[in-house]
Amino acid sequence: MQLSRHRVDSGFTIIEAVLVILVGAIISIGVVNFISDSARGLESASRRSRLAAAGQVAIQRLSFELHNALPNSLRVTTPEAGGDQCIEFIPIRAATNYVDPGFSGSGKISFDVVDFVPDQQGTTGGYAVIYPRQINRVYDGDNGAVYADWPNFPNNSPIQEIDTITDSGAADQSTITLVQSHRFRRRSPVQRLFVVDQPISYCISGSNLYRYTDYGFFTSQVTQEEEPGTCEVSPDPPDRCLPDYDAIPTRSKTLIIDSIDNTGLTAFSVESQSLRRNSLVRIEFNLTTGTESIQVNHEVLSRNVP
């Protein structure tokens, strides 16, 4: 008997091959899109996370310093259309109770206070403040001042520059010696005395937030930054300008955060200050990078009863 042989062909037809390629392409496109979307999502989340972290650092620093502001020293400028604005305050270095400062006649050049905690004996610089009730009086350092005697606080005002703080010889007391005889304007109901440093300004300029200090006391709030070597507000010392990196190469100006777009927004607002209640400072930043943006809002309570 002879067996018949049948040839069996194996493989894909052209139609099957085309279908396989088409299905594989569709799956590949889906996988690529999924990976691409995931990568974009991760990148977007990373950018937003960096913006949020930068905003949080700026808010924390501002909050810390605003909590330590001298009562009745907070003031802000009118925000510009592009969002540029400044907030200014006087930082407290230390506080205690006074014993016998001058409140009559021409005042005194030295007086005793209860010892500071922590101890301030031997420290230099600073300004003594008693019962700061009016904001314009604590900033009045340009009262007819010239470079040789600036700042020139008027007599019968709540503030005067300190020369030294030394041991008085009496138990638990220190002696504050001023740069000149001074009569403080009013007595504090709780005999409170503050030692403060020069004012601090936080300003939004374009997309950046800067911190300025070491520029002095001026009755009118200073908002203009000094160009390298010049000050257009006042060309003669003392310069009524915020310090510039090139003009004053110190830490007088510090970049706190960039990537700000506050167009049409009010970065800083302060509720009406009163002797009977604390101040509430509202802060609003719109941070942006590329296509991502987040808005940071925060409120800071600043003690306002002197």
Pairing between β-strand 253-257 and β-strand 208-212 as defined by DSSP bridges: antiparallel
Structural domain boundaries, residue 210: 47-90+199-216+248-302
Q: Is the Cβ–Cβ distance between 179 and 161 less than 8 Å?
A: yes
pLDDT of res. 251: 57
pLDDT tens sequence across 192-208: 999 999 999 999 998 99
Residue 155 within any structural domain of the chain: yes
128 with 274, same domain: the answer is no
pLDDT tens sequence across 29-71: 777 666 666 656 566 667 777 878 888 888 999 999 998 999 9
- The answer to whether the pTM exceeds 0.95 is no
Residue 30 within any structural domain of the chain: no
161 with 85, same domain: the answer is no
119 with 263, same domain: the answer is no
263 with 297, same domain: the answer is yes
163 with 127, same domain: the answer is yes
Per-residue pLDDT, averaged over 79-84, amounts to 92
Separation between Cα atoms, residue 282 and residue 261, nearest integer Å: 17
Mean pLDDT lowest among 34-48, 214-228, 285-299: 34-48
176 with 131, same domain: the answer is yes
123 with 265, same domain: the answer is no
> For the chain, what is the largest distance between any 2 Cα atoms, rounded to a whole number of angstroms?
144
* Order of strands across the sheet that contains 192-196: 92-97, 192-196, 127-129, 159-167, 173-182, 108-114
102 with 190, same domain: the answer is yes
155 with 128, same domain: the answer is yes
Per the omega criterion (within 30 degrees of 0), is the bond before 151 cis? yes
Tokens of 110: 């030295």
The answer to whether residue 8 scores a pLDDT higher than 70 is: no
124 with 260, same domain: the answer is no
Total domains in the fold of the chain: 2
